Amino acid sequence: MDHRLSGGVPAVRLGSRLQLSTTFAAESASRRRSARRSSSGPPPALTVDVRVVVRRHFPVAVPGGTRIAEKVAEDIALRRRPSRKLRGPESVERALDDEVLPLVAHRFDRGAVAGARKEICAHVAAACDDPRIARGGASVLVLIDTFACPVVLRPPPHCKPVPQGVACAPENLVARTATQCVDSETTVPAKKVNPYGVIGDRRPKPVVEEVTKPEGLGTMVGWTDSFSIFR
């Protein structure tokens, strides 16, 4: 067992690609004579050749690395079909189910043809309904490429569950409550004491001394009693 596959599941990734092409040929006398002698030539007027080719692409181990190999798995041809019988997508789908899909051996190739059935039927029906098919036949090529690539499917990484707990706040963290916020923002002013008391209060009022300041030296007010000692 390859050590690179440890922990994974080997698998194959598949894919497909569809390519469609149509070729119209002009009818001529010489071409009609050659068509009678050989059935491998271009189809005559009002007829269509439908060729379905399944081509596989897969990796191959070679010295020094890996290369992509290409192999034609199926090559199925519906030749000289009257165009009037394939002008509807339903008629083309019946032809695919009856004459093409039973000849495809691998189930993945059958799935690729069945998955592109809608596009194939629409393309072949449009070619059979084209006015150019009256002057010469039409050749429709249906090329389906399939791809296979080995891969290793690995499980998703295991994630450890995160423990859920209660986070404790540090001891020096003090939560401020709404009451503390209001108290810190609103300050009640201290009540001032009225030195003159209240009306109706009979308690003794404080004595306030008033000092009379002399009005000036040019007047004699307050000097009369001072000169009486010299009499």
- Quick: pLDDT tens for 47-102: 999 999 999 998 888 898 888 889 999 999 999 999 999 999 999 999 999 999 99
More confident call, 230 vs 98: 98
- What pLDDT was estimated at residue 96? 95
Tell me how far apart the alpha carbons of residues 192 and 205 are, in angstroms, rounded to a whole number.
Answer: 17
Contact of 68 with 58, CB cutoff 8 Å: yes
Buried b (16+ CB within 10 A) or exposed e, 99-128: ebeeebeeeebbebbeebbeebbebbbebb
Paired strand residues for 151: 11
Instruction: Please name which of 151, 152, 150, 148 lies closest in space to residue 17, comparing C-alpha atoms.
Output: 148
- What percent of the chain shows pLDDT beyond 70? 58
Tell me how far apart the alpha carbons of residues 195 and 192 are, in angstroms, rounded to a whole number.
Answer: 9
Confidence at 1, pLDDT banded by 50, 70, 90: very low
Q: Residue 62 half-sphere exposure, CB side, CA atoms within 13 Å?
A: 8
* In the chain, where the domains are located: 7-153
Does the structure show a pLDDT above 50 at 30? no
Number of neighbours of residue 162 by Cβ within 10 angstroms: 6
Could you write out the three-class secondary structure of 153-164?
Answer: ECCCCCCCCCCC
Contact of 112 with 54, CB cutoff 8 Å: yes
Tell me how far apart the alpha carbons of residues 148 and 106 are, in angstroms, rounded to a whole number.
Answer: 13
**pTM check: above 0.75:** no
More confident call, 76 vs 25: 76
- Sorted by sequence, the CB contacts under 8 Å of residue 117 that are 6+ apart come out as 93, 96
- Quick: pLDDT tens for 163-185: 665 555 555 555 555 455 455 55
- Quick: pLDDT tens for 9-20: 777 778 999 999
Does the structure show a pLDDT above 70 at 209? no
Paired strand residues for 61: 66
Going by the DSSP 8-state scheme, the letter that residue 80 receives in this structure is: E
When mean pLDDT is compared across 20-24, 129-133, 195-199, the lowest value belongs to: 195-199
3-state secondary structure of 211: coil
Instruction: Please name which of 71, 59, 152 lies closest in space to residue 106, comparing C-alpha atoms.
Output: 71
Q: What is the mean pLDDT of the chain?
A: 76
Does the structure show a pLDDT above 70 at 32? no
- What pLDDT was estimated at residue 230? 47
